[in-house]
Structure 1
Amino acid sequence: MDASYKRLYTLGCLDILYKPSLAIIGARRATPYGIAVAQMAGRIAAESDIVVVSGGAMGVDYAAAKAALDAGGEIIIVSGCGADVVYPHSSEDIFSAAKAGRGVIVSCEAWHQGPRRYAFPKRNQIIAGLCTSLIVTEAGMPSGTFSTAQTADNLLKHVYAAPGSIFSPQSRGTNRLIEMNASIISDEVALETLISLDFGKSRLVSSGDTPMRGRIIEALVANPMRPDELALRLDGNILTIIRTLSEYEAKRLVKRLPDGRYSASEQSYLNT
């Protein structure tokens, strides 16, 4: 990664830059499939309290950022223009949300600077550097998306990729990344599992659930445990933990393993 970025320009809430983040990238001229994957990933990230990093462009960038905002999440837009320039204009609503405090806009370009072709590879490097992990929904070869994923991999960031049709030019890059050992996103539960393993977080529970449920599920996502281990980890009452685990086992939210430990079930990852 180019180390010559001596100055970054920002607008919005700078504190967001210090939070765990997931970059979601893909083609500007995305297929409906690529858009759907981006929206799913943006929503899951927001519901897991993870910031979405986006280039702010049309297509996948916009779809991921908008889905995250709609789910109550926060975004980082890495712009190829000045941080005070909205580009493209079709993305004005997500730029406005970031400026208003629901995100932050980052750029290595000076104030008021319009789009210049050479600036976008720099933007892509910054995306790879800022994020904790990176998802590629669709990518041709060669493409800026594919090179961003390679940069992230070189920086030892975890790269996920959505598989696509072998007949689709927009999936050549993602399929190649999977060949190169990117983690495959086979479905929604697989993505939630990858995020849980990378970030140690599970999706936020609905308002009707007790706080203890979220804490138990989150702990079990990270590592199967016995009730006494859970009580110690959560500083909870052992009897309350046992009763809660029994209720969740009946609801298929957790499953008991042969050695007496409990683990989170696939059902626990789904929206409730």
Structure 2
Amino acid sequence: MPLSEHGSISPAELEARLRLHRLPEIGPRRFKTLLEAFGSASKAISAPASAWRALGLPLSSADARRSPQIRDGAAHALAWLEQPGQHLLMFDQADYPALLAELNDAPPLLFVAGDPGILEKPQLAMVGSRRASRPGTDTAAAFSRSLAAAGFVITSGLALGIDAAAHQAALDVGGQTVGVLGTGLENFYPQRNRRLADAMIASGSAVLSEFPLDAGPSAANFPRRNRIISGLSLGVLVVEASVASGSLITARLAAEQGREVYAIPGSIHHPGARGCHQLIRDGAVLVETIEHILEALRGWQRLPPSPEPTEPAARHPLLRLLHAAPHTSEALAASSGWSLPKVLASLTELEMDGRAACENGRWFARVS
């Protein structure tokens, strides 16, 4: 992203923000405290150490802000931003994701490879075990395909197991997907999913991180990135997770952020189902089909439109069937010859347009 694309942010201010962002003891809240106290990152960089101390900020950070390593890291990030398809989103700029901006600890900077525009589209997070069972990954893939075909962006953490299955399945149906890393974009982890990340970027999806480009894998970083996964999304679907899984952290954060939490049940004998069962006991929506998710999101203003153009009411194939008799979505798929994801996507739009309604699992045409 050329520097001119950063709107009201001057090159000097951008470089100063990148320097502040690299200071290890300056997290999101302290970053924003500095900007509020001094009015800009440029002034924070040049302020005396005593002014930092008066704000309760560590002197080690005040001393490090002018170090060659911090300057060099910022210069490298500026060079990275000049490359095609590489972007920086800032918390006080118009292109920052609106849902994520609602968080008190929203990342001040987001490095994005790919298309940052999809971050404003309705997203659903899918998370689960890194050591997922084959049925678990199959279930994740099936739900991801259906949700992506219904117009949702699938957001996850690009980890092994459930995450990778969800990302890949969204790509398989021509959908969009967002990967949130717990490392910097130039220090990709896990390397086994690097090819998947490249495919996501090449297809018009996105991979992002709040960490400096060269940040390596650290145990503390992955719970931090989970708040971004949930914060970007309307809801979080947990597919398979043990009671000690990091996916439960994401679900807890989602609940705290006011997002919907969904969980797929499993066998009482399978350890990977116990985390989902715990979530259901705690109030998560029990999910067996994509319709359970769509039902929970009905009325949400940002629900996505169907990826298929809607035909006039008189000629819409599904409405013709519904005018004849009520149908379940599965029956509509069988009668119309459409795939179930396509049927669900069209029904969602018809309902939003006030032309169809669902009661007790059966769809009816509304007479205008």
Q: Structure 2 length as normaliser, TM-score?
A: 0.57
2-side partners of 1:136 and 1:123: how far apart?
A: 16
- Residue equivalent to 1:12: 114
Following TM superposition, the consecutive aligned residue runs of length 4 or more in structure 1 with deviations greater than 6 angstroms are 241-244
Matched, 1:245 2:319: yes
Aligned to 2:277: 175
Which entry has the higher C-alpha Rg, 1 or 2? Answer: 2
Match of 2:98 in 1: none
What residue is the counterpart of 1:122 in the other structure?
224
Is 1:150 the counterpart of 2:224 in the alignment? no
The reply to whether residue 110 of structure 1 matches residue 209 of structure 2 is: no
Q: Which runs of 5+ in 1 are unaligned?
A: 213-235, 256-262
Amino acid at match of 1:77: G
Would you say the 8 A contact 2:129–2:247 is kept in 1? yes
- 1:267 maps to 331
| Cα distance in 1 for residues equivalent to 2:187 and 2:177 | 17
Matched, 1:95 2:197: yes
SS of 1:122's equivalent in the other structure is helix
Pick the aligned partner of 1:85 from 160, 167, 187.
187
State the superposition RMSD in angstroms: 2.7
1:64 is displaced (CA, Å) by 0.3
Give SS of 1:8's match: strand
User: How far does residue 132 in structure 1 lie from its aligned partner after superposition?
Assistant: 1.2
Q: Is the 8 A contact 2:147 2:341 kept in 1?
A: no
Does the C-alpha gap of structure 1 residues 141 and 268 become closer, same or farther in structure 2, counting only changes over 3 Å?
same
Residue 23 (structure 1) shift: 0.3
Out of 174, 192, 195, the residue aligned to residue 72 of structure 1 is: 174
Distance apart, 1:179 and its partner CA: 1.0
Query: Residues 127 and 239 of structure 2 are in contact (CA less than 8 Å); yes or no, is this contact kept in structure 1?
Result: yes
* Corresponding letter in the other structure for 1:160: Y
Shift of 1:187: 3.4
* TM-score, structure 1 as length reference: 0.76
- The corresponding residue for 2:155 is 53
Deviation by residue 1:116-145 (Cα, 9 ceiling, x = unmatched): 111111111111111111100011112211
- In structure 2, runs of 5+ residues without a counterpart are 1-102, 334-339, 343-368
Q: Aligned pair count? A: 233
Letter in 2 for 1:211: T
What is the aligned partner in structure 2 of residue 227 from structure 1? none
Higher relative contact order (CA 8 A, sep 6+): 1
Name 2:125's counterpart in structure 1.
23
After superposition, the C-alpha distances for 1:164-197 in whole angstroms (9 at most, x for unaligned) are 1222221111001111121111235545555666
* Cα distance in structure 2, aligned partners of 1:264 and 1:107: 41
